[in-house]
Chain A
């Protein structure tokens, strides 16, 4: 599918919707994209939803809103839907198969490349973006043309409780060589980047992405858990500049779910406690993937390494 005809901006934001119900949360996410002071286009991948569910989501995408909860003096709460004043330029694409986070990234990347978008960004359904995020990122991109990826400060909450900020490490004293810029030493110390909400310049990333024919695969789809960690290691190792914009751009909401799937980059802290059948991973396998990322970033191509339980 070519998005050239529907293209109205230079940035393509992608989301993947594969489970319901998520009416209110996705409506708020859409609202935060629709109300951006610098408009963006949105591609919404779906998979495994019924036609009715897709129709519901299409309706929300047409008229995004957020729900304002009001508490009266007598303690009663009422909800008011605040509709978006702007239209979200979007397109739905039904995926024939379940999509991992790496696949969502790669599909979006190729759509953007084909349609001539300058940058891409990824969001998840429960989350929302700061209304000026893309405008702020554009200012930073104009002022810093040498930077390939701009990360937002992410406000992180777990089950509704604010737990801290993400992507901030590059600004901390003594963490990176240049304040605000993520370097390889910092990233090797720990995985301090979250990929959501970031602005990825298509042409910059393309240079270090594996290509097969006309398709590019910036993120290695064979890697579990650490695909985006390896991606950032590889990009930075290849001298692509990554910077955190010191502004809140994204609100990441982790909600406890029964199952973990690799469609999200929100790794549950207790993923090793999840049963294998519900997406759980053993501690050994978890370590394997992150150690593998630290070795594989030297290679642009996906070498499709696999975890073998005997690995020590």
Chain B
């Protein structure tokens, strides 16, 4: 990724700083979000884009930057056609999100014009697309997801403040060398989406300045069905953490059927391969969610289930420690297949007996959900950015020459 610094007018050191401060005070700065160019649903990217949208809606200049990925098939076909090597890229177009990011620039990074798969003119020729160098000023902010230490390293020299958006504890050290810390890339500031991640970072990289950010659950999308009879004796499940996770999830299901033969008629339905609306409808139609994400950084799915009146049975991941209680789900030890299968049967038997229909159950879910509102989410991210702005102003004031 090429980076450059826009040259400032020829002003004195202090005048440059004053100008930068003025831009910060007047919100005339850019908020760059680095995003992986994934066109398939991803909870983490969804949160990143939603955060970008909230800030854009609040009047900030938000730009999403991404590195286009090579489309192997389209490149091969075009290379054959043109009898020379041609690179065709995939355009980042996250149509799977349930909100609009119209009005936010999605800037492909690069230093030359490129082709995007599917973008051809009337003659069937690929149209050229501009790419952009990451051009930042001292008043700007660059927000980088936690799993991209390469981006942190490559942007070490930029003049703007860089902030890590940490949504997973699991990926934080995975892509880094042993002993390496974000501080080594000049990064001090982190936005953490869960208490667990904050706790983890304090242990793994002491000294970081961490601001906590609570995500909101969209209660218009995730809501309990109005009719009791539209809640079916079905168990929704994911298994979105790779093939091993899928096998473990299937093992829970098979063990459940073995332990509880009288419940062999209870159906399990997958939640993959659907858009947000289908996803929320499917979740709301199920009486239970089998939650088997053992490495969740926070875990919005159990909260979405609670909002949908769907009872959660599953693993209690480290990331969810701030909201997991004995009253808002049937939580098993993280990774324990047998215990989860057993709890699933206990939970379903309780539901069939009507014990989970008590208003107190949904009340406990609402109590859990209370801190995670969309309004609160917007307010928090605005507060966080304003705090960063003020901190940046103070920093700049501090480097003025006397």
When the two chains form their complex, are residues B265 and A247 in contact, meaning their CB atoms are under 8 A apart?
Answer: no
Report Cα–Cα, A248/B349, bound state, in Å.
Answer: 9
Q: Write the A95-106 contact mask toward B (1 if CB under 8 angstroms, else 0).
A: 000000000000
What are the residues of chain B within 8 A of A169 when measuring CB–CB?
265
B interface SS class: mixed
Q: Is B123 an interface residue (CB 8 A)?
A: no
What are the residues of chain B within 8 A of A247 when measuring CB–CB?
352-354
The closest CB in chain B to the CB of A179 belongs to B232
Task: Please tell me the number of chain B residues within 8 Å of chain A, measured between CB atoms.
Answer: 19
What are the residues of chain B within 8 A of A130 when measuring CB–CB?
353-354
Q: Is A165 an interface residue (CB 8 A)?
A: yes
Q: Is A153 an interface residue (CB 8 A)?
A: yes
Q: Is B9 an interface residue (CB 8 A)?
A: no
Report Cα–Cα, A162/B279, bound state, in Å.
Answer: 37
When the two chains form their complex, are residues B228 and A143 in contact, meaning their CB atoms are under 8 A apart?
Answer: yes
Interface size for chain A: under 10, 10 to 19, 20 to 34, or 35 or more residues?
20 to 34
When the two chains form their complex, are residues B228 and A248 in contact, meaning their CB atoms are under 8 A apart?
Answer: no
Report Cα–Cα, A132/B356, bound state, in Å.
Answer: 13
When the two chains form their complex, are residues A248 and B233 in contact, meaning their CB atoms are under 8 A apart?
Answer: no
Q: Would you list which residues of chain A between 165 and 187 have a CB under 8 Å from chain B?
A: 165, 168-169, 171-173, 175, 179-180
When the two chains form their complex, are residues B352 and A246 in contact, meaning their CB atoms are under 8 A apart?
Answer: yes
When the two chains form their complex, are residues B265 and A144 in contact, meaning their CB atoms are under 8 A apart?
Answer: no
Closest CB in chain B relative to A82 CB, distance in Å: 19
The residue that B264 contacts in the complex, of A140, A172, A179, with Cβ under 8 A, is: A172
Q: Would you list which residues of chain A between 141 and 171 have a CB under 8 Å from chain B?
A: 143-144, 153, 162, 164-165, 168-169, 171
The closest CB in chain B to the CB of A141 belongs to B229
The residue that A168 contacts in the complex, of B229, B265, B287, B357, with Cβ under 8 A, is: B265
When the two chains form their complex, are residues B267 and A171 in contact, meaning their CB atoms are under 8 A apart?
Answer: yes
Q: A173-B267, A179-B232 are in contact. Are A136 and B261 (CB under 8 A)?
A: no
Q: Is A139 an interface residue (CB 8 A)?
A: yes
Tally of contacts, chain A with chain B, CB under 8 A:
49
When the two chains form their complex, are residues A171 and B227 in contact, meaning their CB atoms are under 8 A apart?
Answer: no
Report Cα–Cα, A171/B286, bound state, in Å.
Answer: 13
The residue that A248 contacts in the complex, of B261, B265, B266, B353, with Cβ under 8 A, is: B353
Closest CB in chain B relative to A1 CB, distance in Å: 35
Closest CB in chain A relative to B23 CB, distance in Å: 58
What are the residues of chain B within 8 A of A248 when measuring CB–CB?
352-354
What are the residues of chain A within 8 A of B227 when measuring CB–CB?
143
Q: Is B262 an interface residue (CB 8 A)?
A: yes
When the two chains form their complex, are residues B229 and A139 in contact, meaning their CB atoms are under 8 A apart?
Answer: yes
- Which of A136, A139, A247 has the most B CB atoms < 10 Å from its CB? A247
The closest CB in chain B to the CB of A150 belongs to B229
The closest CB in chain B to the CB of A37 belongs to B354
Report Cα–Cα, A164/B266, bound state, in Å.
Answer: 13
The residue that A171 contacts in the complex, of B230, B266, B353, with Cβ under 8 A, is: B266
Q: Write the A230-247 contact mask toward B (1 if CB under 8 angstroms, else 0).
A: 000000000000000111
The residue that B228 contacts in the complex, of A139, A162, A165, with Cβ under 8 A, is: A139
What are the residues of chain A within 8 A of B357 when measuring CB–CB?
132
Give A residues with C-beta under 8 Å from B: 130, 132, 136, 139-140, 143-144, 153, 162, 164-165, 168-169, 171-173, 175, 179-180, 245-248
Give B residues with C-beta under 8 Å from A: 227-230, 232-234, 261-267, 287, 352-354, 357
